[in-house]
Amino acid sequence: MRLLHTSDWHLGRRLHGVALQRAHELYLDHLVEVVRSERVDAVLLAGDVYDRAVPPPESTALFDDALTRMVDAGAQVVVSSGNHDSAVRLGFGAGLLSRAGVRMCTTTAGVGKPVLVGDVAVYALPYLEPAVAGDDLGAAERTHAGTLRAAMERVRADAAGRGHAVVVSAHAFVAGGLSSESERDISVGGVSAVPPEVFAGADLVALGHLHGAQTLAETVRYSGSPVAMSFGEVGQVKGSYLWDIESGPSGARVRGEFVTAPVERPLRVLRGELADLLGDPALLEAESAYCQVVLTDPVRPEGALDRVRARFPHTLRLEFQPSGTAVVLPHPYAARTAERGPVEVCDDFLGHVRGGRGASPAERAVLVKAFDAARLERAEVDDSARRVVGAARGVA
């Protein structure tokens, strides 16, 4: 069987205010062509289809079109929800879609129930919020690791009697993976990292959540996001994994190949004094790229942004870090908080308004509890809606 592993589309995302719709359209055209030309049997989309729980109409239309074209090209599509998705909204119409070859895996009730693709059993695990899914799955501990262990127990119990090659698609932060600044923190008070050993017994683990393509083990990989969503992803090669899986009496044979995605507009980070950047002939390619420019002039140049954009018209971010002085001008607020978790942002704020004295251990505990409660409330809203829908189906 031939599988195509992709994740973290984040449809509806913007890069410093610029819509990435065209970049996503380009990638999905490419993806459909790979499905067609490589005769892919199933596409695994490992979470974060959308960038937010309520996506814009153009994003839902783009997803609908992509699903239709992949099915028309001959592939099943197995979609699991990520931490950016609303599991209830993404799972709407799952029963009807399954008849067309699209499996929406968004509930804990579906954990341990495979999608069969020839002699391969695909177990698609949605993002499992420990505070909610842990109880549903009977997890021994309310952590990401404990919840996924309970999920994998169901997977192994089902797989034991089948004799199929086992593929697990999951949306999680697995220890050993390298994060990017564009990913949303899923830990707050709990420990988010999951040890790779949790997935023992799987012949292939196709992961989503981290935005850089990376290999944790030969058959445990992140496909990464197909479109760059922050300047922290400069230099990353975007794409998808194409997997060939053969079942045999001595076990499954798995071979993978990375398929590079097209780039609508590259990212560049430029650093130096303004005059040098404007006159450097080696920076010709940066003229068509999205740019983050860091000026090191000892004195801030007059009209810097207009002058930078005269040569690099797609500059999205301009910073000043003067050389020859200990003074480093602060980044814009959004940039300064981009790599900080919510508790750390609040701690920074307290330190600012209290003259450097951040949160005490007791105050930090209150903050952790508050953010955990907010995240739990969101998860419970989705869970309650799912149960209402399930009850309505039972009555019908």
Give the range among 89-98, 188-197, 323-332, 352-361 with minimum mean pLDDT: 323-332
What's 41's DSSP letter?
Answer: S
The alpha carbon dihedral of 216, 230, 240, 149 has a sign of positive
| Dist. CA 390–CA 25, nearest whole Å | 34
Average pLDDT score, the chain: 89
Both structure tokens of 314 = 């797609």
Summarize pLDDT for 223-239 with one digit per residue, the tens.
Answer: 999 999 999 999 999 99
- CB atoms closer than 10 angstroms to residue 129: 23
| Dist. CA 298–CA 291, nearest whole Å | 21
Q: Is residue 357 over pLDDT 80?
A: no
Q: How sure is the predictor about 26, in pLDDT bands with cuts at 50, 70 and 90?
A: very high
Instruction: Using the structure block, give the residue that is written with the tokens 């251990």.
Output: 361
Q: Which residues contact residue 216 at a Cβ distance below 8 angstroms, ignoring those fewer than 6 apart?
A: 174, 176, 177, 196, 207, 222
Give the range among 78-87, 138-147, 203-212, 308-317 with minimum mean pLDDT: 138-147
* Mean pLDDT confidence for 48-77: 97
Q: Which residues pair with 290 in a beta bridge?
A: 267
What per-residue confidence (pLDDT) applies to 238? Answer: 98
Q: How sure is the predictor about 345, in pLDDT bands with cuts at 50, 70 and 90?
A: confident
The alpha carbon dihedral of 216, 220, 224, 230 has a sign of negative
What per-residue confidence (pLDDT) applies to 187? Answer: 53
Residue 288 CA, chain-centre distance (Å), reads 26
What per-residue confidence (pLDDT) applies to 167? Answer: 98
96 contacts 393 by C-beta, under 8 angstroms = no
188 contacts 343 by C-beta, under 8 angstroms = yes
* Mean pLDDT confidence for 275-301: 97
What per-residue confidence (pLDDT) applies to 327? Answer: 42
| Dist. CA 396–CA 293, nearest whole Å | 59
* Mean pLDDT confidence for 71-86: 97
Give the range among 117-131, 187-201, 236-250 with minimum mean pLDDT: 187-201
Domain covering 2-260 assigned CATH 3.40.50.800 in the classification = no
Both structure tokens of 167 = 């593929």
Question: pTM value?
Answer: 0.82
Q: How sure is the predictor about 337, in pLDDT bands with cuts at 50, 70 and 90?
A: low
What per-residue confidence (pLDDT) applies to 323? Answer: 83
What per-residue confidence (pLDDT) applies to 189? Answer: 39
Residue with more model confidence, 332 or 206: 206
What per-residue confidence (pLDDT) applies to 237? Answer: 97
* Mean pLDDT confidence for 74-96: 96
| Dist. CA 77–CA 100, nearest whole Å | 9
What per-residue confidence (pLDDT) applies to 349? Answer: 80
What per-residue confidence (pLDDT) applies to 354? Answer: 59
Residue with more model confidence, 350 or 75: 75
213 contacts 238 by C-beta, under 8 angstroms = yes
Q: Which amino acid is at 165?
A: A
Summarize pLDDT for 165-181 with one digit per residue, the tens.
Answer: 999 999 999 988 887 76
Residue with more model confidence, 183 or 12: 12
Closest CA to 120 of 285, 3, 242: 3
> Strands, DSSP E only, in the chain?
2-6, 14-15, 18-19, 42-46, 76-80, 102-105, 115-117, 120-125, 165-171, 204-208, 214-217, 220-222, 239-246, 253-260, 267-272, 290-295, 315-320
For every residue of 185-249, DSSP letters joined together read P--TTS---B-GGGGTT-SEEEEES-SS-EEEETTEEE---SS--SGGGTTPPPEEEEEEEE--T
**Per-residue b or e along 356-374, where b marks 16 or more CB atoms closer than 10 Å to that residue's CB:** eeebeeeebeebbeebbee
Both structure tokens of 382 = 């989705």
